[in-house]
Structure 1
Amino acid sequence: MTTDKQVEWLREGDIWPDTEDDELRTRLLENGAIGPGQSGLRVRFVGAIVFRGRTMAALPKVHASRSPEDVHRHALRAMRRYRQWAPTHHEPSPYLNESPDKGPVSTLAAADWLIRDFAAHGLLRRTEISHEVNGGGQINWRRTIESTDVVMSRGRPVYLDTITRRSESDNSNFATRLHCYLLERLSREYAPLLDLEPIVLDHEAVERLEALPSIEECKARLAIEQRVTYSQRGMDLLAMMLATIESLEIETELGLSLFGTSSFYHIWEVACGRVFGNEVEIWKPFIPKPRWISAGGQRTESDTFIPDLVAELNDHELLIGDAKYYRPAMPPALRDVPGVNDVAKQIWYKDCLKSEAQRRSYSIIQNVFLFPRDVEQMSLLGHVELPAGGERIDAVAVPFLDALAIYSGDKPHIPQKWRERLSIVLRMLP
């Protein structure tokens, strides 16, 4: 990632300085990007932040040896993937939203969508149709017959002149000019921060807008364009252009734009599911649901807990995994570990699935907490017992950036290799 603007690097979980700008602190508090924590306000956000000319990037809480630019790139790509394939039971981040019909779209999210849409489809173009005599286009026979002289040759009509159709791009079309304006402006300001290639349109003959028109004019003129647009891409693009103008107006006043999430733990959950090849859907029917019974005897089942991850490690080992986006410290300085509710829940999952696992010839059920770490290979961190000497759940470090790269599709992946490696790690238990 290269940018002319100086990027200020933050990290999720770090303390927000008391000396920071009061207005920025207020805006970030209002949007949930920072929040109360131990020893004061802490960063609660992963992604890109722009505030009145300042450019910031908040990295995931996992400390990594790679450059901040590389970590930011991995996080961005994972968040884009998550935006497209987020489980329906997850609450979506408003600062990743790219669908105007689902709510406001931040300027950074709009820039991300517009730049990637341009890379895939190019500039919005409108065609201007005209006619000329003896041109190189398709002959318009109706116009030719009506407006040119005919010569008879051997009893057959011959037209020495023909009227042909000419089509060329309308470089003065408002929607095309507005699209060009937004691409050049947003690409210049945000493409590097979003790890996207800047857009250069110097070769385009489109008449440039000197400034962004009023939102009222844009709405009126884009409404006309929408009435004559029939392709899905065209309709989506016009809707996003209008959403972008609205967000520019709002965020210019507030001074703040965000692209990212305050729920990066959701991304770690689905990344682990991708890495190990999640098969939880197969096992969900064996997780009981609470049954409520009225005094009159009427019965209704309610929602239940669902494991993050269930997968076959090999033909005799079954994995039940809980992806924990924590930075744990093992004894003697125990810190930031799953609570007793999480421990008890994993034990309950094992108890629920035990009979079906045995029926399918799994003789071992491995219960594991999966923590993100800056490591090359999976390794054992420790384990927890409940009660002491009773059921055991192992704590395993999983290579953080590799998992994100696999999830986002940037790295080749064979789930079985990760399963085999985890099985080996668990066999090394003391």
Structure 2
Amino acid sequence: MRRVYIRERSAYTPSELADKLKPEDGGFRHWDADECIAKLLKRGVLSAGSIIDDEDSSTVKYDKYQFRWVGLAVYQDLVIVVYPKYFRSKDLPTLPQMARILRVIRKAEPKGAQIGMLADDNDRARDPLALLTALFDMYAEYGEYTNYERTIESNGTGSISWERTIEQCQPFLGDDGPIYFDLKTIETNRNDSDYVTRLHRALLTTYSQELRESGLAELLSITPVELSDEELDDFGDPDIIDYRLERELNVQFITWKRDLISLLRSIVMDRESGHDWNNVACLGTASYQHVWELMCKTAFGDQLGISIDRLGMRLTDVWAKRGKETLLDIIPCPQWYSTEENGRETVCGPVKTLIPDVVSVLKHDDDLCLCIYDAKYYTPTLGKKVTGAPGVESITKQLLYQEAYKSFVKDQGVSRVLNTFFVPTSRQGGPYHLGKVDFLSIFPCQDAPFTNNIDVWALDADALGELYLDNEQVGSAVVDAIISKSTPVVFAQAQTLF
């Protein structure tokens, strides 16, 4: 299969996108390109119309196509790789980088969401990529589908069945009671000829070959397996297979096995319906912002949901009484009032409040620091013209987060408050300090330990992706650099990063 790499949010005219998709030898006819584009639009991974430039909101591009989505789309012999916008325009992600991005996306989605959330849409519910990745993910976690048979044997290695032994074996009567020289034992053996086990092996082997031949195995981080020489036709027609699987489902009570049986039924029906690569198959996300938030939460040890009596600090009396509240709970909520017919005001119930992305309390040298981080999926350029930067609403909210923790900071003797935007970059190393922003014309100047500005840091998205997959946090050197800004490598020009 051919591969075409397209940067997320890049804008194309219809003819430009068609030229981008067609092969160099010209074998991809123009109407095929149009059909591919139409299917991408239908799936929602491609947008059309008047598009606001993501780097410059004052620029509107008319009659353009744009992938507001990150992931993998397959159509006939074409693999469209849409990579994140934080890669510089002149750079393409390597195969390991893109494979890691897809693994991160798959982890960020709730387990089974790619199939479950699409179940009401006939085109998407049977998406081959969703079905295949789910099949191999379950195999990696649980192994083959297995059923075990229990048999009674004479003098076997299993547990003794005293009921059968007493019924069927002749004892020797000794002084201390009966002695049995022959014992009936319960043997549990794996049934390798089980129908569902054989079907599971055959499908894994068949799809392994297809993924290997298409070149998708590496992109999807799937290790092909060879477990069977049986074909799907060996198991009967699809109706018979579905009947056998339904019958197995009725007697199976282990959750993962029930999930697997349901998945196998979907795969079999998908093949029966003739679903193939002539329909666009997709694997990805339209909300990479959410993925970036999860990466930052993991890397910087988000404590937002941790009760304040578990933060490792001695609480003052007023906060000790609230010790079971979390860092999120102690953020005040707006208070609404309803006006009654007599003009009397009644207090309304609680409503949603400010929710930062990442909050942590840590010690740096002898200082107790409150770090308020906000993950921003932006590619800012800071110069005479500011483009691609968080908007005024993001700046306002970030400064309000500090206000929300003001009493806690003062009462607990916090030495420093850090207010930070995190943006991703494909450049390795770092972290890179891009600059800062303040809003002193609206928010009054703050005395220590509070800050008057929000620092903007670019973080190596590759490294954070690996940490997210391994559930690990960044090293102390990265945190030290962000807190102290004393490491020479932390400073960088924005144009070298995006």
Question: Which TM-score bucket, shorter chain as reference?
Answer: 0.7 to 0.9
**Aligned partner letter, 2:251:** V
Q: Which moved more, 1:98-107 or 1:396-405?
A: 98-107
**Whole-Å separation in 1 of the counterparts to 2:149 and 2:468:** 45
| Cα contact 2:296–2:464 (8 A) shared by 1 | yes
What residue in structure 1 maps to residue 465 of structure 2? 404
**Equivalent position SS for 1:196:** coil
2:453 is the alignment partner of 1:420:
no
Tell me the residue number matched to 2:298: 274
Q: Which residue of structure 2 lines up, in the alignment, with residue 14 of structure 1?
A: 10
User: Could you say which residue in structure 2 is the equivalent of 1:292?
Assistant: 336
Kept in 2, the 8 Å contact 1:310–1:320? The answer is yes
- 2:357 matched residue in structure 1: 308
Q: How does 1:180-329 map to 2 (within 5 A)?
A: 180-190=201-211, 191-202=217-228, 207-210=230-233, 215-248=238-271, 249=273, 251-252=275-276, 255-281=279-305, 282-296=326-340, 297-298=345-346, 299-313=348-362, 314=364, 315-329=367-381
Q: 1:76 aligns with which of 102, 106, 123?
A: 102
Residue 74 of structure 2 is matched in structure 1 by 50
* C-alpha separation in 1, matches of 2:477 and 2:284: 31
- What is the distance in 2 between the residues matched to 1:283 and 1:147? 68
Q: Distance in 2 between matches of 1:143 and 1:366?
A: 73
Q: How does 1:60-139 map to 2 (within 5 A)?
A: 60-63=84-87, 67-84=93-110, 95=114, 104=125, 106-126=127-147
Aligned-partner residue type, residue 392 of structure 1: N
- 3-state SS of the aligned residue for 2:282? strand
The separation in 2 between residues aligned to 1:212 and 1:387, in whole angstroms, is: 72
- Indicate if the aligned counterparts of 1:125 and 1:169 stay in contact, CA closer than 8 A: yes
| Residues 1:347 and 2:396 are matched in the alignment | no
Which residue does the alignment assign to 1:25?
37
Q: Classify the secondary structure of the residue corresponding to 2:281.
A: strand
Q: Distance in 1 between matches of 2:483 and 2:165?
A: 79
| Residue in 1 that maps onto 2:430 | 377
Name whichever of 363-372 and 50-59 sits farther off. Answer: 50-59
Where 1:47 maps in the other structure, the secondary structure is: strand
**Structure ranking higher on relative contact order (CA contacts 8 Å, 6+ apart):** 1
Partners of 1:271 and 1:321 lie apart in 2 by: 12
Assess if the C-alpha contact under 8 Å between 1:276 and 1:416 holds in 2.
no
Which secondary structure does the structure 1 equivalent of 2:403 belong to? helix
Which stretch has the larger CA shift, 308-317 or 382-391? Answer: 382-391
Whole-angstrom distance in 2 between the partners of 1:84 and 1:415 = 27
Q: Structure 1: how far apart are the matches of 2:360 and 2:35?
A: 48
1:330 maps to which residue? 382
How far apart in 2 are the matches of 1:144 and 1:285?
63
Paired residue for 1:394?
455
Amino acid at match of 1:228: V
**1:155 matched residue in structure 2:** none
Question: Does structure 2 conserve the Cα–Cα contact (< 8 Å) formed by 1:171 and 1:207?
Answer: no
Q: Is the 1:48–1:56 Cα contact (8 Å) retained in structure 2?
A: yes
What is the distance in 2 between the residues matched to 1:393 and 1:10?
Answer: 32
Stretch deviating more after TM superposition (206-215 or 312-321): 206-215
**One-letter amino acid of the counterpart of residue 358, structure 1:** K
TM-score by structure 2 length? 0.70
* Matched length: 411
Task: Judge conservation of contact 1:98–1:105 (CA < 8 Å) in 2.
Answer: no
Q: Deviations over 1:80-112 (max 9, x none)?
A: 332259xxxxxxx95475997999463322222
SS in 2 for 1:7: strand
Change (3 A) 1:243 1:357: farther
TM-score of the superposition, structure 1-length normalised?
A: 0.80
Task: For 1:163 and 1:417, locate their aligned partners in 2 and report how far apart those are by CA, in whole Å.
Answer: 64
Distance 1:84 1:319 in 2: 28
Q: In structure 2, what is the equivalent of residue 88 of structure 1?
A: none
RMSD: 4.1
Aligned equivalent of 1:178, options 196, 199, 214: 199
Residue 291 of structure 1 aligns to a residue whose secondary structure is coil
Structure 1 residues without counterparts, runs of 5 or longer: 86-92, 153-158
Does the CA-based 8 Å contact 2:95-2:219 persist in structure 1? no
Q: Is the contact made by 1:378 and 1:425 (CA closer than 8 Å) also made in structure 2? A: no
Note if contact 2:87-2:93 (Cα within 8 Å) is conserved in structure 1: no
Shift of 1:355: 1.9
**Is the partner of 1:316 in helix, strand or coil?**
strand
